[in-house]
Every structure is written in structure tokens, then in C-alpha cells.
Amino acid sequence: MTALELIGAINQILFVGLFVVVLRHALRERRRSSFNTALLFGSIAAVVLVSRVADALGLAEHPAYPGIVITLLAVAPFAMVRLVDDFSHSPRAIQIAGYLGFAVVAAMAILAFGPIQRLVGLVAIVFFLVVGGYAGYAFAREAARARGITRRRMTAVATGAVAFIAALVLIFAGVLLPRVAETASILAQVAALVAAGAFFLGFAPPAWIRRAWREPDLRHFLERSIHLAGVTDERAAVAELNVAAASALGARGASVGIADPNRGVLRYVDAETGEWSDFPDDMFIAGRAYRAGRRVVAEDAAAADPQHADRYRATGANAVIATPIGTDARRLGVLAVYAERMSIFAEDDLWLVDLLADQSAVLLEARTLAEHASALRAREEAARMKEEFLSAAAHDLRTPLTVVLGQAELLERRQQRSPEAPADAQGLARIAREARRLSDLVSELLDAQRLEQGGAVRDFAPADLLEVVAAVRERYSEGGVTLSAPAPSLPLIASVDRPRIEQVLDNLVENALKYTPQGPPPEVHVAIDGGEARIAVVDHGIGIPGTDRKRIFERFFRASNAQSITDTGLGLGLFICRRIVEEHGGRIWFEPTPGGGTTFAITLPLVEESGTEPLDERGDAWEPRPARGVAADA
Ligand code: ADP
């Protein structure tokens, strides 16, 4: 046996083997594309069979033999264009050319092969080149469009188709041109071998190759979706899951429906608006799969669900695969994948859709667990806050209360002992002072509560911030404290809840005084920058330790060095300031004052620009540096 004969024999075995595999598949899955695949390889297997029988019976020279072989070979390109039409749209002209060409070649080959051999050969070559060539091109085009395993299988099929057509053309060229017959025959066998190998990879890849080809799709999906377990916004997570599933499958679209069994609906994220839309949980093909608890495949969605045919057509969802997410015991939703046409390798898609549905179930469960955990954390945090609040409030309220009570009891006893004695003015003043402090603390607590709930800042009206600052300055300079602020030059109009802004500035100035046991008094600076006013309260006090900086604006937080200065203070002032400033659309932050101390700054948006120069008249005007400072939301 020569090498060429060996290759020929291998080719024959491969093609017959392929036919057996695809025939078994076609019998199991009765789809048009399976039938056309079986037709393709059936024709080649038939050629092998006929030639074997003819050889065995010595019928190779029979006048009908070449006609039968040519007709059988012509079935192959014809089956190919039918196959192309199964997964993509192919022009009507090429379909007609396929049918007509096949009829012409078959008729000429069977009826009139003897006298017009050369003409039949030429017509057959043209037919193979045009029809088979188009099929090869269409497979390659589909390969370029597809992704993952479908792309690889399609590439193999395209290679196989081109090599197979080349082999046929070479065989006929050999017959027509006896001078190159030998070379053509060698090349034809090699091309047929390439075709057989490529077709095997395309139509019947071995399990290990299939696994290796599928793996990237799955990894790609996991890479894109694994973080979704932690995404708090469920709508955004589902939208991303849709994109990840569609992209893993190279499908036109995918949509995950989340089950809401209490309301009997499936919730989808609308691809256009990005909003939730709820549908009864038995609606669409997806709903059927969800209700039935098993996969539903619709090669023609409009026919399978005529009620919503328009919807499927409008979105180009001609073929739909829907698989429930979750188990029978715990149905979480459904995954539906839409495509223009069913792939001829539907089994890969089905496998991947099932797997993606399982992965989605894991993700959705993980999300539920994460939500439970965060709800639990929030409850614990609330309980902790309540405890902190109670102990802070109890401690801070008890001190003035003890004074009030003690003083009142003292006055009472004195009164009983000597009712005629003049009133103790000092004692009364003390009671009044401590009661005021008590009232301030209670107001602060209530205020923080109201601001936390929102809507406590509402009386916005245009006000000149320079006037507001001047009023604050006035208040504190009356108490013997010197503050330096710029003399008003241009009005700085902002839309503010004035008492609230004054409350913020009072608080910052009070803190600045409170936390500056000795040293120069605090200063207030006003600057304007673009559309914003910046007000800074600069002190030269005890500063804020580095470790506490991040938490300064938290509710009830007091820095470690504050206790050494005063043990009164709930740690609510800055929390309240932050809320008020943010409700005004501004920012609050602090940074160390050069040389020691702390600078707290706020910005407020201005209604109309009042100038661009810093208003501070001093040469060393304070310049805010929020980048280095610690913002309230840091
Ligand atoms: P309170 O002053 O009632 O404790 P605040 O919310 O006003 O509460 O302030 C929170 C903490 O921030 C204070 O306890 C103190 O540790 C720190 N702090 C605020 N302002 C200053 C400042 N000007 N200098 C140093 N530390 C400050």
C-alpha cells in the first residue's frame, strides 16, 4: 500500500466515522441542522461505500458509475448551503443556485456522462466552487461573529468546508487535465485529510477538546460576575449579570428574572430603561421554564409563544433558551438567552446556559447571605449606637442634673430652716446655669436626631455670608474674645437657612475656644473661590491626634485629647455641622493649623459671584487645602 493509498483509506474511515457520529446525533436531536449535517456526511460516506462496492464487484468501469459518484459528491455542497441557512440568513439566490446547480449536475452526470464528460466536469467544478465556496465563506463569517467554543467549532467547519471543496475541485481537475492528474490526486487526498480532521473538530470534537474550548467562556463569565455578590444595588447587579451571560454566550441578549413568589411575578431589569419591570411568573418562554422547573428551548420563539410574537420579533429574539435558576426546593428565578438563530452547535449553548444558571444561583444566594449579614451588622451597629448614646447622654446629663438637684435641695433645706432668710442669689444662678446646660444638651440630642432623619434644614433664603460671619464675630467679641475676620467689602450671597449656618459657625468657634486652653484666640477667615464661599475657623489649640482624625465627624465621637480639656460635650456638634453644611450642598473638613492647632473649614455655594479675589485683607490669608485636610466623608 502506497502512502497515498494509506491517506485515502484513512480519509474514508474518517468520513464514514463522522457520518456515524452525526447520524446518531441527528436521531437523538431531530433538528433541521442535525439532518443537514447527516446529509453532508451521508453523501460522502455513500461515495466511499459505492466505490468500495464497485471495486469489489469490478463495476468501476460501468458507464453509470461516474454519474452516481458525481451526483453523490454534489450532495455535499448542497447540504452545506442548507446548513448555512440553519444558523444564519443566506441570500435566496444562493439557495436557488444550490438547488438548481445540484439538479443540473445530477441530471447531466446520470443521463449524459459518457458523451459530454468534459462539460460535466466543468459544470461540476463551477458548482463546487460557487456553492461550496459560498458555504465556506458563510461558515468563516459566522466563526468571526461567534464567540468561545462556537467560534472555534465554526472555524474548524469553515476550514473543513474549504479543504473539502478544494479536494473535489482537484479531483475533477485531474480528470479534465490528465497531465496534472497525479499531482492533483495527491493534493486532493491531502486536502481531504485536512477536511476530515477539521470536520471532526467542528462537528464531533472529542470531550477533552470540548472541555478546553468551553473553559474560557465560563472563566470569562465568572470574572465578570463574581464581584456581583457584593454589589449592594440588586438592580445594577442583575443588569450586569445579564450582560455577562449574553457576552459569555455571544448571544444577542440575556435576561435574568428574579422570582418574587409572594407576588407571583418575575422581576426583570429593562434593557433600555435599566429599571425593574415585573411580569407574571408564567409569562414568556422564560416564565414557562420557571414554572415548569426545567429548561425550555424554542428555536422559533414567535411560534412557541404566539401571544408575544411581536415582542420577540422586535428584539430579534428568534431563538430562546430559558433555564430555571435554583433548585426545585428553592427557585430563585430564571435565565433566558436570546439569539437571532439557534447555533448549529446548540448542545454547547445548552450546556453553557445551564452552567451559567447554576453560577447565577450561587451568586444570588451569596447576595442574599451578604444582605442578611449586612442587615445583621446594621442592627448590631444600631444597638451599639443606642448603647453609646445612652451612656454618653446619661453621663452628660447627670453632671448638670446632680448640680441642679444638690443646689435645689440645699435651698430647700435652708428655706425650711430659716424661711425669713433672703434668697440665695448665687445658688439660684447656679441652678439656672446648669438647667440651661441641661436644656442645651437635650436640644443637641434632639437636633442630631432630626438632622439624621433629614429635612430639618428647610428655610432657605438669600443671605449675605459676610453679614452672617460678622454677626458671629460680634457675639464672641462681646464676650471678650477677639476674632479676626475680613471687613465686608462685597456681598457674598448664598441661599441658606441662616440660623442653621450661624449654628455651624457658633459651633466651630465654640470648639475652637474650648480646645484652645492657652494661646492666641481663634480667627475666622472668609474667602471666595469661583462659585463658592469658604469660611475657615483657625485655632492654635490642642489639635486633633492623627489616630482620631478619620472619626471626628462621627456621631458621639470625642477625640482622646478632648477629655483632658473638658468632660462636657456629647460629641454631636461636628456631626450636626456636617449634616447642615451638606444639606446646603457644601463641604466641611479640617486640617492642622501650621504651627499647631486645628483649622475647620466649610464651603457654601454662592447664588451670584461676588468677586474672585480672596476677601481676606491680610497678606497671609488662609488658603484652604482640602486635598491635605480631612474631609467629613473621608
Ligand atoms: P464635642 O465638642 O461636644 O465633644 P464635637 O462634635 O463638636 O463634640 O467635636 C468632636 C470632637 O472633635 C471633640 O470631642 C474634640 O475631640 C474634637 N474637636 C472638635 N473641634 C476641635 C478643635 N477646634 N480642636 C481640637 N479638637 C477638636
pLDDT in tens, 341-366: 777 777 888 888 898 899 889 888 88
Alpha carbon distances (Å) from 444 to 110, 307, 394, 456, 555: 104, 62, 14, 13, 11
Q: What is the pLDDT of residue 625?
A: 44
Of 133 and 518, which is predicted with more confidence? Answer: 133
- Region of 269 (left: φ > 0; alpha: ψ -120 to 50; beta: rest) is beta
Using CB atoms within 10 Å of the CB of residue 4, give its burial: 0 to 12 exposed, 13 to 18 middle, 19+ buried: middle
Instruction: Assess whether the C-beta atom of 509 lies below 6 angstroms from ligand 1.
Output: no
pLDDT band at 489 (very low <50, low <70, confident <90, very high): low
Q: What is the pLDDT of residue 342?
A: 79
Q: d(Cα 247, Cα 147) in Å, to the nearest integer?
A: 8
Of 565 and 198, which is predicted with more confidence? Answer: 198
Nine-digit cell at 618? Answer: 491680610
Q: Rounded mean pLDDT of 557-583?
A: 85
336 pLDDT higher than 90: yes
% pLDDT > 90, the chain: 38
Q: Rounded mean pLDDT of 582-604?
A: 94
| Placement of cell 411575578 in the chain | 265
Q: What is the pLDDT of residue 268?
A: 94
Of 393 and 541, which is predicted with more confidence? Answer: 541
Instruction: Assess whether the C-beta atom of 574 lies below 6 angstroms from ligand 1.
Output: yes
Instruction: Assess whether the C-beta atom of 522 lies below 6 angstroms from ligand 1.
Output: no
- Residue of 483, 515, 523, 551 with the most ligand 1 atoms within 8 Å of its CB, for mutation: 515
- Residue of 508, 516, 552, 570 with the most ligand 1 atoms within 8 Å of its CB, for mutation: 552
Question: Residue 509 C-alpha to ligand 1 middle, in angstroms?
Answer: 11
609 pLDDT higher than 80: no
Instruction: Assess whether the C-beta atom of 539 lies below 6 angstroms from ligand 1.
Output: yes
Of 594 and 614, which is predicted with more confidence? Answer: 594
- Residue of 518, 557, 574, 580 with the most ligand 1 atoms within 8 Å of its CB, for mutation: 574
Question: Residue 531 C-alpha to ligand 1 middle, in angstroms?
Answer: 29
Q: d(Cα 267, Cα 238) in Å, to the nearest integer?
A: 10
Instruction: Assess whether the C-beta atom of 571 lies below 6 angstroms from ligand 1.
Output: yes
Q: Rounded mean pLDDT of 60-83?
A: 88
Identify the weakest region by mean pLDDT among 97-111, 112-126, 593-607, 611-625. 611-625
Residue nearest ligand 1's atom 21 by CA: 511
Sign of CA dihedral 551, 555, 557, 562: positive
Identify the weakest region by mean pLDDT among 120-129, 131-140, 223-232, 367-376. 223-232
Identify the weakest region by mean pLDDT among 55-59, 246-250, 263-267, 288-292. 246-250
**343 neighbors 202 (Cβ within 8 angstroms):** no
pLDDT digits (tens, 9 = 90+) for 385-437: 778 777 777 777 888 888 899 999 999 998 899 888 888 888 899 899 889 98
Question: Residue 574 C-alpha to ligand 1 middle, in angstroms?
Answer: 7
Q: d(Cα 495, Cα 607) in Å, to the nearest integer?
A: 6
Q: Rounded mean pLDDT of 466-494?
A: 72
Residue nearest ligand 1's atom 13 by CA: 558
Q: Rounded mean pLDDT of 603-608?
A: 87
**190 neighbors 102 (Cβ within 8 angstroms):** no
Q: What is the pLDDT of residue 622?
A: 44
Residue 517: which of 537, 484, 544, 540 has the closest Cα?
Answer: 540
Instruction: Assess whether the C-beta atom of 562 lies below 6 angstroms from ligand 1.
Output: yes
**Most confident range, picked from 142-146, 229-233, 309-313, 393-397:** 309-313
Question: Residue 523 C-alpha to ligand 1 middle, in angstroms?
Answer: 17
Beta sheet of 598-605, edge-to-edge order = 523-529, 532-538, 598-605, 587-592, 630-631
Average pLDDT taken over every residue of the chain: 86
Q: d(Cα 486, Cα 310) in Å, to the nearest integer?
A: 71
List CB contacts of 29: < 8 A, sequence separation 6 or more: 346, 347
The 3-state DSSP composition of the chain as helix, strand, coil percent (nearest 5) reads: 60, 10, 25
Question: Residue 517 C-alpha to ligand 1 middle, in angstroms?
Answer: 13
Nine-digit cell at 294? Answer: 426545567
pLDDT digits (tens, 9 = 90+) for 498-537: 999 999 999 999 999 889 888 788 888 888 877 889 999 9
Q: What is the pLDDT of residue 249?
A: 79
613 pLDDT higher than 60: no
618 pLDDT higher than 50: no
Instruction: Assess whether the C-beta atom of 584 lies below 6 angstroms from ligand 1.
Output: no
Q: What is the pLDDT of residue 612?
A: 44
Q: What is the pLDDT of residue 384?
A: 83
Alpha carbon distances (Å) from 7 to 14, 46, 196, 197, 345: 10, 18, 11, 12, 29
461 pLDDT higher than 90: yes
Q: d(Cα 624, Cα 587) in Å, to the nearest integer?
A: 12
